[in-house]
Amino acid sequence: MTTSTTAEYGTDRRTVTVRVNGRDVAREVSTRTTLADFLRDDLDLVSVHLGCEHGVCGCCTVLFDGRSVRSCLMLAVQSDGHTVETVESLSADPAELHPIQESFAEEHGLQCGFCTPAMVLRTKEIVETGRQLTDAEVRHEISGILCRCTGYQNIVNAVQSACAKLRCGGPGTDERGE
């Protein structure tokens, strides 16, 4: 039986074309490069935070075709032909925050900020469903992202504030108001 060595895997490179934060980029990457490393190291999108690097902390969360994924668990080559959003896409000007970012600031939904890009992107995904969630449902929805600092209540408040600003429906409704 033949086995491939790490060195052999490492020499395999592919070109990926991916739409990142509204811009099409094409890069040659190793087939071993994770999506997280590609975003941070090749595209300088350092809001993508690496904590555990094995799928537990959720701090590397990005939106992939509009859905939150752990970018440390994906390979860059898997992004070929897809759309990725990081928190850098929300506001080009630090003086003009996106309403979700405003909500996190106003509700003190962060302390060290390590989990915050992931929490903000997860909130964007929640807001875009059009559903207004209960606090318990928000806690469930953000449960894949670990925060070591806040105790979560202020993050829940921030999510609810963002939903209110961006006009989610009433409790228990979806985008069709049902």
Would you say 25 and 69 are in contact if contact means Cβ atoms under 8 Å apart?
A: no
Site string for ligand FES, 136-175 (x = CB under 6 A): -----------xxxx-------------------------
Query: CA-CA distance, 5 to 8, in Å (whole number)?
Result: 5
Q: Contact between 38 and ligand FES (CB under 6 A)?
A: no
Q: How far is the CB of 28 from ligand FES (least distance, A)?
A: 24
120 binds ligand FES (CB under 6 A): no
CA distance 19 to 72: 18
25 touches ligand FES (CB under 6 A): no
Regarding 81 and contact with ligand FES (CB under 6 A), the answer is no
Alpha-carbon distance 171 to 45, whole Å? 35
CA distance 30 to 58: 23
Judged on CB neighbours under 10 Å (0-12, 13-18, 19+), 143 is: exposed
114 is a contact residue toward ligand FES (CB under 6 A): yes
Interface residues for ligand FES in 40-69 (CB under 6 A)? 50-53, 55-60
Q: Whole-number minimum distance, CB 122 to ligand FES, in Å?
A: 12
Sheet holding 61-64, edge to edge: 23-30, 13-20, 83-85, 61-64, 67-70
Nearer to ligand FES, 97 or 169 (CB): 97
Residues that bind ligand FES (CB under 6 A): 50-53, 55-60, 70, 72, 110-116, 147-150
